[in-house]
Structure formats: C-alpha cells, structure tokens
Amino acid sequence: MVCTGGEPLLQLDGALLDALHYRGFEVAVETNGTIVPPAGIDWLCVSPKAGSTLVVERGDELKLVYPQDGAPPERFEELAFTHFFLHPRWRLSLQTHKLLGIP
C-alpha cells in the first residue's frame, strides 16, 4: 500500500501501520519530510519542498522536484538515502504511433 497525497504522516501512525501489516500489506510512504515517521514503514520516500524544514534525513528514496528555487540537489546529496531521483517539472511527450509502427 502506498500512502501519499497531501501529507500522509498527518494520518499514518503506529497503530494504523500495525493494522496494515497485520493484514499483510507492505507500506510505502511518500512524505515531504517535515514530520518524523513512525517506525516500521517498509519503504520511505521523501520529496522535500523548498522553504520547509526537513526533519527526515534518511530513508529509501529522496525524490526532488527539479528545478525548485531554494532546493538545489546539492543541498540533499549528503543525506542517508539509498536512492536519489530528480523529478523534472516538464513532461515527456512520445509519438506513440511511431512506437507502434503506424505511419
């Protein structure tokens, strides 16, 4: 189960996490990193926002929306995350008909 949108750690506490694990779910969370997460999260992704105080400095994944004024990638490179990703603000547009071989 992936908990995201808004700030999931405003609702996800140890009791809910335990209930989800009891029912067989692995729990992934995408947070902005401003709230200390409860113990036991199976995958923790932090997506920091410029101007916010980052209190979560370790996890599985740091996903930085880029570019973001006040949040250069170098600011986060020394943190203890397993994976680091830049999430561009632009979108990739593919010509699907060419990928499918349709002239």
Q: Which residue has the higher pLDDT, 98 or 3?
A: 3
Owning domain of residue 70? 2-99
Q: Which residue has the higher pLDDT, 79 or 101?
A: 79
Closest CA to 80 of 33, 29, 27, 28: 33
The count of structural domains within the chain is 1
* CATH at residue 85: 3.20.20.70
Distance CA 19, CA 14 (A): 9
Distance CA 62, CA 40 (A): 18
- pLDDT for 11 beyond 80: yes
Cα distances from 71 to residues 27, 64, 67, 74, 95, in angstroms, run: 27, 8, 8, 8, 33
pLDDT, tens digit (0-9, with 9 covering 90-100), for 21-74: 999 999 999 999 999 999 999 999 999 999 999 999 999 999 999 999 999 999
pLDDT at 81: 98
Token pair listed for 10: 């405003």
pLDDT at 8: 97
Token pair listed for 12: 């996800």
- pLDDT for 96 beyond 90: no
